[in-house]
Amino acid sequence: MDKHSAEYYDGIQERLYTAVIADVMDELGYVRQVMSYEIRPLFDDAKIVGRAATMLAAEVYELPAKPFDLVMQLLDELVPGEVVCCTQQGSTRAATWGELLSTHTRARGGRGTVLDGLTRDSWGIIDIRYPVFARGLTPADSKGRIDVMAIRVPIEMGGVLVHDGDLIVADYDGVLAVPQAIEDEVIAKALEKVSGENVVREILAAGASIRQVFKDYGIL
């Protein structure tokens, strides 16, 4: 299947979830791929599967010569299936995302936004069910407070090193990044693991010993 198609991303979104993907990456030795638990969805059933389009933002204290220049470049050149990923490097002075950017990104085939930072215009975004994951909300605009300094570079988000093009998966449990080098293996193994868990769940619901189940299935 075309790994840049909506079908591919939708398939993962319907059949997998972050916890099982995180487990498979652990087994492969990729143990630092889950972002901080402080990055949360804007609404409860928000989910994202897509490819990272990265932005590095920094605080500024005067209006840049060309405000929003790199954001606009990234968004106008966004490839369908991408997920806007932006770090504010710890700053919570302002929001780097909002409703108009969400409307535009959806129109261009973007699948969501993950921020190690803040968003605003929550009502508008929730209204169109555009999935945003962030540290929080603020009415404060980024203009003159925070500006994007580089795009399509490696960034750190919630403790995870994210490269442009990484597969981003986000649901109510949290957000993680799958490096492209291991993507095929991770997806394949995660699909297998999901089946196993369904079996164990039924056995435990019937009151079985957890020690026995772990011994028999190796799953907890």
The reply to whether 79 sits near a second copy by the rule CB under 8 A is no
Separation CA 172–CA 18 (nearest Å): 9
Give the residue from 42, 36, 52 showing the smallest Cα distance to 183.
52
Nearer residue to a second copy within complex by CB, 9 or 94: 94
Q: Which residue stretch of 6-14, 182-190, 199-207 sits at the interface with a second copy (rule: CB under 8 A)?
A: 199-207
The reply to whether 139 sits near a second copy by the rule CB under 8 A is yes
The reply to whether 89 sits near a second copy by the rule CB under 8 A is yes
Q: Are strands 174-178 and 167-171 parallel, antiparallel or unpaired?
A: antiparallel
The reply to whether 53 sits near a second copy by the rule CB under 8 A is no
Nearer residue to a second copy within complex by CB, 1 or 155: 155
Query: Which one among 8, 11, 68, 193 touches a second copy, defined by CB under 8 A?
Result: 68
The reply to whether 220 sits near a second copy by the rule CB under 8 A is yes
The reply to whether 55 sits near a second copy by the rule CB under 8 A is no
Count of residues in contact with a second copy, rule CB under 8 A? 81
Separation CA 21–CA 172 (nearest Å): 14
- Residues in contact with 146: Cβ distance below 8 Å, sequence separation at least 6, in sequence order: 57, 58, 59, 60, 88, 91, 93, 94, 96, 117
The reply to whether 118 sits near a second copy by the rule CB under 8 A is yes
Helix (H) or strand (E) holding 34, with range, is none
Separation CA 125–CA 100 (nearest Å): 9
The reply to whether 192 sits near a second copy by the rule CB under 8 A is no
The reply to whether 198 sits near a second copy by the rule CB under 8 A is no
